[in-house]
A and B are shown apart, each in its own frame.
Chain A
Amino acid sequence: EIVLTQSPGTLSLSPGERATLSCRASQSVSSSYLAWYQQKPGQAPRLLIYGASSRATGIPDRFSGSGSGTDFTLTISRLEPEDFAVYYCQQYGSSPTFGQGTKVEIK
């Protein structure tokens, strides 16, 4: 089973700042089968990025994903008030797993 470790656990930033979230895999993620989700309290997760770097439908271009192999990054170029949430990475190989999440909170 591939273990995903996200860092940091919490990111305290102000609106307008840049957020950089990390997701490290215990072994190589095949074909960049890596996704990122945003989750707000009381809501289901929302797919942001798939294939490590492709934005899902309707996702603003301030969200971008990069990386390959075992190291992946989600970048939010300029934080909007609605971006403060918890973010999860997921690898979707034969046995999908999720990271433990990074909370982006208002500083």
Chain B
Amino acid sequence: QITLKESGPTLVKPTQTLTLTCTFSGFSLSTSGVGVGWIRQPPGKALEWLALIYWDDDKRYSPSLKSRLTITKDTSKNQVVLTMTNMDPVDTATYYCALPLRGGAFDYWGQGTLVTVSS
């Protein structure tokens, strides 16, 4: 059974760095072709793709957020970590991690974690 779960702070202050962890089970990020992605969704708004990391440590970032994002993996812990620097209130959103299986469509999603940016 494949599961993913996001964890991290629910509240961060403007200018701070956000660190989110995705802990997964049911698959391995050392298996060829496997990747894990992050997507966010501001309240009442659309989904926005943020980043992807693959089994071979290939990393992809949203062009508009690339300068603020870092994605890493810890294969031994079955975790993927996303950091976002210089947080702003507009970054308030539910952050999801997800597993793309079919060429990049996200088959499995975590429950999401709401992060609020406020002083």
The chain A residues found within 8 Å of chain B, CB to CB, are: 1, 31, 33, 35, 37, 39, 44-47, 50-51, 54, 56-57, 88, 90, 92-101
Q: Are B103 and A88 in contact (CB under 8 A)?
A: no
Knowing A1-B63, A44-B111, A44-B112, the reply to whether A98 touches B106 (Cβ < 8 A) is no
User: Does A33 contact B109, Cβ atoms closer than 8 Å?
Assistant: no
User: Which of the four size classes fits the interface of chain B?
Assistant: 20 to 34
Tell yes or no: B57 within 8 A of A by CB.
no
Say how far A85's CB is from chain B's closest CB, in angstroms: 13
Query: Knowing A1-B63, A44-B96, A95-B63 touch, does A88 contact B105 (C-beta < 8 A)?
Result: no
Partner of B103, one of A33, A39, A100: A33
Q: Are B46 and A99 in contact (CB under 8 A)?
A: yes
On B, residues with C-beta under 8 Å from A are 37, 39, 46-49, 52, 60, 62-64, 96, 98, 100, 102-107, 109-112
